[in-house]
Amino acid sequence: MRTYKLVAAINFTDVHTDEKYKAGQELNVSEERALELFSSPYHLVKYVSHEDDTDIASIISEKDALKTENDTLKKDLENLTEEYDKLKLQLENNKDDTSGKTEDTSKKNK
């Protein structure tokens, strides 16, 4: 997330926080809040600079961790699919065995 450094262009009161700003006063705000202030029809602020608080190394390590987690989940899904197929086959075999026994029982009763 970026942090923006802005300067108040005019005196104004922030409608969200009721904080009062004087022309020329510096504001350090989040990216979302900066966009809100920029979109105001009253030209409340001027852009000075921004900083990214994320570094490339942390983004790459997070990406690698997510890739590892994704691979693990894929393997788990494959294992569960295999287990499901085995159980489904076993259930079908049990139904076949049960239906055969029912027919045998009905033949014996006659």
Tens of pLDDT, residues 13-61: 888 888 899 999 998 888 888 888 888 877 888 778 877 766 777 778 8
Would the pLDDT of 104 be above 60? no
Domain that holds residue 40: 2-52
User: CA–CA separation, 68 vs 93, rounded Å?
Assistant: 38
Q: What is the pLDDT of residue 86?
A: 96
**With contact defined as beta carbons under 8 Å apart, do 7 and 44 qualify?**
no
Give the pLDDT band (50/70/90) at residue 102.
low
Distance of CA 27 to the CA centre of its chain: 30
Could you tell me which residues are beta bridge partners of residue 4? 29, 50
Tell me the residue type at 93: N
User: CA–CA separation, 46 vs 20, rounded Å?
Assistant: 16
Tens of pLDDT, residues 67-93: 999 999 999 999 999 999 999 999 999
Domain final position from 28, 52, 76: 52
Whether the CA torsion 70, 71, 76, 79 is positive or negative: it is: positive
Mean of pLDDT values over 2-18? 86
On whether both 60 and 85 belong to a single domain, the answer is: yes
Token couple for 107: 């033949």
On whether both 46 and 25 belong to a single domain, the answer is: yes
Q: Specify the CATH number for the domain of residue 23.
A: 3.40.5
On whether both 43 and 84 belong to a single domain, the answer is: no
On whether both 96 and 62 belong to a single domain, the answer is: yes
